[in-house]
Chain A
């Protein structure tokens, strides 16, 4: 594997390999010295054209725990402000001698384009409304640790703004590859106009789904993506699709509540629910570091795609 651009590029075996490796790195992150020398001398650049707290810090932590050198690129203080193009920007950075580029960009497909311009490994850290593969992998890892290694038959409800959500697209691809049964719950205006080919069922009624799901994945209402015309008001959204305290009380006792963050408390999830016993939201963040270590290790630690040598 040279790049990680989309979960859709991975088959079940590749996903499971990454998750198995993540379990090893989870053990590493729990040691007194949570760091291994595996990728000494490798240079990882985080190139974020969109704001981020957890994804950026998570990738940089993961890289440092593998002993990589990390360079951080912020658009606000860069030559992008002077009009430098994406291509010139990444080629300039690559000329400094780097091994991996972790890219977040508002345009779907930007990491894929970049991967054709550079020799470095490219990791998609979120591109527009397309994919956010490491989020899906950490979600799958979190589920596996609670539901067991086999997710076949697990019932997962993904609730909220599916239309604009790269997390939803990556989650659907990952969960479906692992055999889970997925229900998308959203008002019709927040669903893609066509769901042909999506391995999902659709519901517009959260209350009908709540009692018979093993997992509720909530998505953030993305104020910055101009929602004004898609639903009447935040209060109405919360009333129909928010995981309120009253709704959470109707969940089965072992149902897990997930949220990729950042949360709009009181909109898609009540603060009490986010901190309640069913919530695995902070675990998702912790698992994210291990998953990103597994991704970087797989891309940078492999033998350029050569198979494992059978005989020692």
Chain B
């Protein structure tokens, strides 16, 4: 696995028969119930931190960050009675690894409100090197001037390469660089929600 691919968009769906390394399942990290509880807790934390949800705009990064942002918005509407706007952000053209690998956009950037003066909560599934979030901050800057930007992450797996930290975390998961955190969400992947840790087959003992 090269440095370029390591900085890539997390969790692309595995292409059958085309896996660069034959990763094997290591362990289950979160199941559907754990994920539901994590979403609910993060939703409460966002509202608590911002003293309500009136100024909050949730902006999901393609692909699974957008799905998680929609879940958070549903949860906030459920207990707070506020319909929080949900936007979608594609960061491909802002990445710093264009030219090192083929970087393709994943969807249209669509933010339904002007973010200027709002509290933007960026939402993604896995936080790893931090390079995707850096690209997202650049992309966001061109759309307006939020009063603040916060970061909500389902799984923080460490190994940051930039000074970026999350504000809301579903699960802190210590990993090794050669491992892979796979998030599956029903509305994206068509399978029950799960977070799993995959890695190369263990060679001579448990890692």
Contact = CB atoms under 8 A, between A and B. Distances in A.
A250 interface: no
Contacts of A308: 101-102, 104
Given A31-B142, A36-B93, A37-B93, A309 B8 contact: yes
B109 interface: yes
B14 interface: yes
Interface stretch (A20-28, A194-202, A256-264, A282-290): A20-28
B18 interface: yes
B202 interface: no
A311 B9 CA distance: 9
A310 B22 CA distance: 12
B69 to A, nearest CB: 19
A302 interface: yes
Given A33-B142, A302-B99, A303-B4, A311 B23 contact: yes
Given A24-B90, A312-B5, A306 B101 contact: yes
A236 B92 CA distance: 53
Interface in A253-312: 297, 300-303, 306-312
A24 to B, nearest CB: 4
A302 B98 CA distance: 7
A38 B104 CA distance: 11
Interface in A28-54: 28, 31-33, 35-39
A310 B15 CA distance: 7
B2 interface: yes
Contacts of B6: 312
Do most interface residues of chain B lie in helix, strand or loop, or is the interface mixed?
loop
A27 B109 contact: yes
B191 interface: no
Contact of A301 (B2, B14, B21, B99): B99
Contacts of A297: 93
A310 B20 contact: yes
Contacts of B99: 300-303
Given A37-B93, A37-B94, A38-B94, A312 B103 contact: no
Q: Which of A38, A39, A309 has the most CB of B within 10 A?
A: A309
Given A24-B108, A309-B5, A37 B12 contact: no
Chain B, interface residues (CB within 8 Å), range? 35 or more
Contacts of B101: 303, 306, 308-309
A37 B15 CA distance: 29
B94 A312 contact: no
B108 A27 contact: yes
A27 B110 CA distance: 9
B161 interface: no
Nearest to A293: B93
B65 interface: no
Given A37-B93, A37-B94, A311-B5, A303 B100 contact: yes
B98 A301 contact: yes
Nearest to A66: B93
B148 interface: no
Contacts of B12: 310-312
Nearest to A301: B98
Given A24-B90, A33-B142, A301-B99, A310 B105 contact: no
A312 B8 CA distance: 5
Interface string A1-37: 0000000000000000000010110011001110111
Contacts of A39: 98
A31 B143 contact: yes
Contact of B105 (A21, A302, A307): A21
B1 interface: yes
Contacts of B94: 36-38
A302 B1 CA distance: 18
B77 interface: no
B48 interface: no
B33 interface: no
A233 B66 CA distance: 61
A27 to B, nearest CB: 5
Given A303-B100, A309-B4, A312-B8, 18 more contacts: A21-B105, A24-B90, A31-B109, A35-B142, A36-B93, A36-B94, A37-B93, A300-B99, A302-B99, A306-B101, A307-B102, A308-B104, A309-B2, A309-B102, A310-B12, A311-B23, A311-B180, A312-B10
> Lowest 6 A-B CB distances belong to which pairs?
A312-B8, A36-B93, A309-B5, A38-B93, A24-B105, A308-B102
7 contacts: A24-B105, A303-B102, A309-B4, A309-B102, A310-B18, A311-B20, A312-B6
